[in-house]
Amino acid sequence: MRENFDVIGLDYLSGTHFETESLRDYVVKHKPNRSALRSDETHSSPALAITLDFNRRNLPAERPLLVFFGERNCSECQQLRSQVLTYPPVSKQLARYETAHLDWSDGHTPLITALGSRSNPADWARELGAAQVPTMVFFDEGGQEVFRLESQVLRQRMERALLYVLERAYADGTTYQQFTRAKTIEKLNAEGG
């Protein structure tokens, strides 16, 4: 996917496409053909007969929501699922979230967004400004976006991002960078360093 994105991104920038459409829309229109989803993938599908409901506006949820926007056969998405999300410290933190894996090009599966609007994965990704895959959007219990990660992430960054939202560090104005620095210092002090 990375090589394809580089070529598509160069075409986008070298032409005048950036004047008339977003990079995300251009990538979706010009992405290479993908094979069908494997049965173990958890992306949304037009075959779903239900509406995915992430609404938290009127009735806040008990746990934060993490939405993964990906696409079929995205190598970075597959690597995230197989190497990062299965890493025990990450999967332990993920259990404290409601999660959803959505195909950002799926314009058919009905859903209700975290703030209660009717949409589909493609439109919701566009509304949120997701520019590449994977994009991970973190929502608080009331449906407000509080953090996001775009592109491939490593285990430690994912673990820290999950903790950043779970500990509500954003609520007092602490940036992710400040939080991560404090956690690193905490870990060094605990190790006697």
Distances (CA, A) of 176 to 30, 146, 159: 33, 11, 12
- The one-character DSSP state at 18 is G
The torsion of the CA quartet 124, 130, 134, 135, rounded to 10 degrees, works out to -80
The one-digit pLDDT tens for each residue of the chain (193 residues) are 444 444 445 554 556 655 666 655 655 565 543 323 333 344 444 443 467 899 998 889 999 999 999 998 899 999 999 999 999 999 999 999 999 999 999 999 999 999 999 999 999 999 999 999 999 999 999 999 999 999 889 999 999 999 999 999 999 999 999 999 999 999 899 988 6
Please, what are the domains in the chain? 1-33 (no CATH), 52-190 (3.40.30.10)
Q: Euclidean distance between the first and final Cα of the chain, in Å?
A: 41
* Residues 108, 46 contacting (CB under 8 angstroms): yes
Residue 15: what residue type? G
Residues 28 and 183: their CA atoms lie apart, in Å, by 37
Confidence (pTM): 0.75
For residue 128, what are its two tokens? 């949120």
